[in-house]
Amino acid sequence: MKELKIGFLQQHNTADVRGNILRLAEGVADLARRGAELIVLQELHNSLYFCQVEDVNNFDLAEPIPGPSTQMFGELSHQYGVVIVTSLFERRAPGLYHNTAVVIERDGTIAGMYRKMHIPDDPAYYEKFYFTPGDLGFKPIDTSVGRLGVMVCWDQWYPEAARLMALRGAELLIYPTAIGYALSDEPDEQQRQRRAWQTVQRGHAVANGLPVVTVNRVGFEPDPSGQTGGIQFWGTSFVAGPQGELFYEASEDEEESIIVSIDMEHSEQVRRWWPFLRDRRIDDYAEITKRYID
């Protein structure tokens, strides 16, 4: 058994960026002291989810990579000897921005980064206004705790993305996330959406024989424009095993700081029982790259 202790912070953010970051730093330190080896943070964890509106002033929240956040989290990684998965608003160049996950190694260096590939554009999720689609592909990041298949939020709905990470040797699929309820939806519809969100990711775990770690934010954030009722982020951060089994599911409405232990060697056995990669018909999948087949 190759045990990996995964910690995550499900946090409610406020408009106080410095306060958010200080609470994240305290949370990382606490998880590390409790034995976490890998710590995963939620999507765009430094601020409110600013994509509810299209406002050019929000580009002021972006920062370069390397930059202040990677330095701060690098210092924490080095101090406590943990790998941290961060999620940042990257300023790559004037007028060029990405939604970027950065993995920090135990020694404080940047192990690798992933730029969000699938960019939504829906009411209250106006991400195409802010983020250029990623150009780094679906490539796992090698770390001292394993090869991490890190993606971001909207990527989690796409089986192609998870599969490509698996085919490149990812040992774990990780999704920093920011998703919640539209308050105009009926309660039954809200729950269907939340469960569909979790189910599709557990399906990626099963189809690829890999554990999945998803960390969402929690709490209510108002729409500054007043055009919608804001977003009630549904939390429900979770860790699933390679057969889709739930090791832990967080609350819908409370902050949590959790450590979950998983057996990184179990995927090997699961893939022997269910050899999906062996039986793929790679000779007949060429049309998957088309937008639609008439």
Active site residues: 43, 116, 153
- Alpha-helix residue ranges (DSSP H) falling in the chain: 17-33, 68-80, 159-167, 187-208, 266-273, 276-279
Q: φ and ψ at 21, to 5 degrees?
A: -65, -40
Q: Is 78 exposed, middle or buried (0-12, 13-18, 19+ CB in 10 A)?
A: middle
CA-based nearest residue to 75, from 138, 32, 133: 32
DSSP 205-253: HHHHT--EEEEE-EEEE--TTSSS--EEEE---EEE-TTS-EEEE--SS
Contact criterion met (CB below 8 Å) for 76 and 28: yes
The residue type found at 3 is E
| Dihedral sign from CA coordinates of 217, 222, 227, 229 | positive
Q: Which long-range contacts (CB under 8 A, 24 or more apart) does 26-30 make?
A: 27/257, 28/73, 28/76, 28/80, 28/82, 28/84, 29/76, 29/79, 29/80, 30/257
Please give the Cα distance from 269 to 258 (Å, whole number).
Answer: 26
- Amino acid type, 217: R
Q: Are 288 and 294 in contact (CB under 8 A)?
A: no
